[in-house]
């Protein structure tokens, strides 16, 4: 954790909270000590520990500047195995993606969208850990849209829409000009997109881009694709 984040108004961590454990075991702080902190999607600042014992940790918070800016990039992602999704969520949140939209796909396993990862809100905890890794307060939003047609149409509106796929005629993502607009980057699941789905994306105005002719794991494609897209967005580039 490079910053300790919390919801607005929170000034206490319980002993079962990973933030309590991190402050105790990693930072080795005590009463009167300070740590870099912030409210999700709001201001960063400095927290001061006012009480720290076996019952919990209390702190005060001095607000600093607003620090919740995220990149105008939407990641449209076909659902994947929960273990893969955990890696993707943590990393793309730490990269500062503004919005994540998870959808179904013809070749993907239908049960993934109803995984316990989402029912238990475990995915939100993983996303929060990604935000704290980033050192900033911004936390991506996430939406679940089972219909690919609805998700792809929604994400294309007002955005430079890019379909990441292996295609001999695709433009290299690394050479695309993504400045001036919000960007949507669509990435398939473990078995990729069907031909019908590729046709759907074309009809909706998506431009096909590639990162070469190698077939990548979904989590590799997501992280590398987001990083490359951000590098082609000059106003917010990495």
CATH number at residue 142: 3.40.1280.10
pTM, two decimal places? 0.90
Backbone φ and ψ of 127, nearest 5°? -65, -40
Is residue 47 within 8 A of residue 60, CB to CB? The reply is yes
Last residue of a domain, one of 66, 89, 111: 66
**How far is the C-alpha of 222 from the C-alpha of 77, rounded, in Å?**
8
What range does the domain containing 38 cover? 4-66
Q: What pLDDT score was predicted for residue 56?
A: 97
In a domain, 90, yes or no: yes
193's tokens: 């997109």
**How far is the C-alpha of 187 from the C-alpha of 237, rounded, in Å?**
20
Residue 195 shares a structural domain with residue 111: yes
Write the CB contacts of 120 (distance below 8 Å, at least 6 apart in sequence).
none
**How far is the C-alpha of 19 from the C-alpha of 33, rounded, in Å?**
15
Q: Mean pLDDT over all residues of the chain?
A: 91
Is residue 135 within 8 A of residue 94, CB to CB? The reply is no
Residue 173 shares a structural domain with residue 136: yes
Q: How many domains does the chain have?
A: 2
Residue 28 shares a structural domain with residue 86: no
Beta bridge partners of 187: 77
31's tokens: 């009463």
pLDDT tens column, 58-70 = 999 999 999 999 9
Residue 52 shares a structural domain with residue 144: no
Q: What pLDDT score was predicted for residue 235?
A: 60
């Amino acid at each position: 954790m490079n910053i300790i984040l919390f919801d607005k108004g929170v000034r206490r961590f319980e002993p079962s909270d990973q933030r309590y454990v991190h402050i105790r075991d990693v930072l080795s702080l005590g009463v009167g000590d300070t740590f870099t902190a912030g409210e999700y999607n709001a201001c960063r600042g400095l927290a001061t520990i006012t009480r720290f014992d076996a019952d919990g940790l209390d702190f005060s918070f001095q607000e600093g500047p607003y620090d919740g800016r995220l990149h105008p990039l939407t990641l449209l992602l076909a659902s994947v195995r929960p273990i893969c999704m955990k890696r993707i969520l943590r990393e793309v949140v730490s990269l500062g993606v503004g919005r994540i939209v998870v959808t179904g796909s013809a070749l993907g396993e239908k049960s993934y969208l109803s995984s316990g990862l989402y029912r238990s809100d475990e995915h939100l905890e993983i996303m929060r850990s990604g935000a704290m890794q980033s050192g900033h307060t911004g936390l991506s939003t996430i939406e679940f849209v089972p219909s690919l047609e609805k998700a792809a149409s929604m994400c294309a509106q007002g955005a430079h829409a890019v379909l990441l796929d292996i295609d001999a005629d695709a433009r290299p993502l690394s050479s695309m000009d993504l400045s001036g607009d919000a960007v949507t980057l669509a990435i398939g699941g473990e078995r990729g997109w069907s031909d019908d789905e590729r046709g759907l994306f074309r009809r909706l105005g998506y431009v096909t881009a590639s990162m070469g002719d190698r077939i990548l794991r979904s989590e590799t494609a997501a992280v590398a694709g987001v990083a490359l897209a951000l590098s082609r967005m000059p106003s917010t580039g990495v």
